[in-house]
Structure 1
Amino acid sequence: MDDLKVFVGNGERVKVEFIGLASLVLDSGFVLDLVDAVYVPIMTRNLLSVSKLVQSNLQFEFDKFGFSIFRNKSLVGNGFIVDGMYRLNCNSPNQSTARLNVISTKTVKKQKNHKHFGIEDLDISKKKG
């Protein structure tokens, strides 16, 4: 993992700490499993890729107030807009905390509470040299 980096908004490349499974429990009780979630401690926002979630048979409807998530035409989750960004409603004591089951290709790590995660379509590059 030492050689994986993520490009952030200011052009800086920051270290990927872990890649693994992130399980989010939505307000509805639906468990949203994020495969190959990328944990980058320095990131201040949790980012999800709608395009990756759509590939797992989820459907989304967005409007000016928020969004809804459906699986097989059944509502499984929703969110709202905060400071110009869509925020997912999670069943968590702290909205910014997700339970990560972190599994790297080398070792299995203990379950931890982490504040930050993203998923694989963030711009990940191998460090050269």
Structure 2
Amino acid sequence: MAVKKPSIPKSPSPLTAEEQKVWDSVYNAINHDFIPNECLPLLVLYCRHVCKERHIAAQIEKIESRLDLTDLDHLKIYKSLMTLLDNEGRSVAAHARSLRLTSQALRSVNDSNRSADHSPKPWEVE
């Protein structure tokens, strides 16, 4: 008898196609029951911030070569875009930490005993 893999839960809010790809990629990287239902709205925010960060980075890349950073107006535009990019990046990181999606959090879940010392603990000795 084949074991049926649980399906990816639906988002509690509508997602764009790009946001849905992020949602699916998260679920393809973790056990499907890793994120409890009450945290799904936080995953929605994570997906949205990832997409916004990508969009802002793409816009910066498009206009970067045309900006004259000796021009004060251009410098203000560039600084504003870089601030937006930084804010989105911080939001992505904060949501990833909250959802325990960072490599460190996932490693600690998968490797509960990461220390090099494998000797028995005092309470394990008979």
TM-score (norm 1): 0.21
Q: Pick 1 or 2: higher relative contact order, CA cutoff 8 A, min separation 6.
A: 1
Larger fraction in helix: 2
